[in-house]
Chain A
Amino acid sequence: MNAQQPILQVRDLEKRFNISGDFLDQLKFQGGKIVRKQENVHAINGVSFDVMKGEALCVVGESGCGKSTVARTVMGLLKPSGGSIHYNGERIDQLSDRAVLPYRKKMQMIFQNPYASLNPRKTITQTLEEPVRFHNPGMSETEVKDKVKAVMFDVGIDPGWGVRYPHEFSGGQRQRISIARALTLDPEFVVADEPISALDVSIQAQVLNLMMKAQEEHNLTYLFITHDLSVVEHFGTRVAVMYLGTLCELAPTKTLFATPRHPYTQALLSAIPRLQDHRPNHIKLQGEVPTPVNLPSGCVFHGRCPHANDRCRQEVPKLVPQSDGSQVACHGVEEGRL
Chain B
Amino acid sequence: MALLEVENLEVTFGLRQGAVKALRDVSFTVERGERVGIVGESGAGKSVAAFSILNLISRPGYISGGQIRFEGQDLSKLSSDAMREIRGNRIAMIFQDPMMTLNPVLTLGQQMVECLKAHRKISTQEARLIAVEKLRQVHIPSPEKRIDQYPHELSGGMRQRVIIAIALLLDPVLIIADEPTTALDVTIQAEIMELLLELCESNNVGLVLITHDLGVVSQVTQKAIVMYAGRVIEQGPTKEIINDAQHPYTQGLINALPQQTLPGQRLNQIPGSMPSLQNIPAGCAFNPRCEFVMDVCKQTLPGFTRSGGCQVACHMVREMKEKAAQEAS
Interface residue stretch chosen among A25-33, A96-104, A217-225, A270-278: A270-278
Interface residues in B227-260 (C-beta closer than 8 Å to A): 242, 252-254, 256-260
Say yes or no: is A5 at the interface (Cβ < 8 Å to chain B): no
Instruction: Tell whether, in the assembled complex, residue B263 and residue A253 are in contact, meaning their CB atoms are under 8 Å apart.
Output: yes
Select the stretch in A180-188, A229-237, A294-302, A312-320 that faces chain B.
A229-237
**Residues of chain A in range 178-227 having any CB-CB distance to chain B below 8 Å:** 200-206, 208-209, 212-213, 227
A238 to B73, CA, bound (A): 57
Cβ contact within 8 Å between B252 and A202: yes
B257 surroundings in chain A (CB, below 8 A): 201, 230, 275
Complex Cα–Cα for A233 and B268 (A) = 16
8 contacts between A and B (CB under 8 A): A62-B186, A201-B41, A202-B252, A272-B186, A277-B215, A278-B218, A278-B219, A282-B191
Among candidates A234, A278, A284, A285, residue contacting B267 with C-beta atoms closer than 8 Å = A234
Q: Is the interface of B mostly helix, strand, loop or mixed?
A: helix
A56 to chain B: closest CB distance in Å?
Answer: 10
**Residues of B34-63 whose CB lies within 8 A of A:** 41-42
Cβ-closest 9 pairs across A and B: A273-B215, A234-B258, A271-B190, A205-B256, A62-B185, A200-B41, A205-B269, A205-B267, A202-B270
Known A-B contacts A200-B41, A234-B258, A282-B194; A205 and B219 likewise in contact (beta carbons under 8 Å): no
Q: How far is the CB of A42 from chain B (nearest CB, A)?
A: 18
Is A309 among interface residues, defined by CB-CB distance under 8 A?
no
B130 close to chain A: CB less than 8 A: no
Q: A254 on the interface (CB 8 Å rule)?
A: yes
Given the interface pairs A209-B269, A230-B258, the reply to whether A282 lies near B190 with Cβ below 8 Å is yes
Pick the contact of B242: A173, A201, A231, A275 (CB < 8 A).
Answer: A275
A268 within 8 A of B: yes
Across the interface, which residues of A come within 8 angstroms of B197, CB to CB? 279-280
The number of chain B residues with a CB under 8 A from chain A is 43
Q: Decide yes or no: A280 and B219 within 8 Å by CB, A234-B261, A267-B187 being known contacts.
A: yes
Closest to B40 in A: A200
A260 within 8 A of B: no
Contact of A229 among B186, B188, B218 (CB under 8 A): B186
Cβ 8 A contact of A279, one of B41, B219, B254, B269: B219
| Chain A nearest CB, measured from B141 CB (Å) | 8
A170, B274: Cα distance in complex, Å: 10
**Residues of A with C-beta under 8 A to B41:** 200-203
Is B264 an interface residue, CB under 8 A from the partner? yes
Partner of A275 from the list B190, B214, B220 (CB cut-off 8 Å) is B214
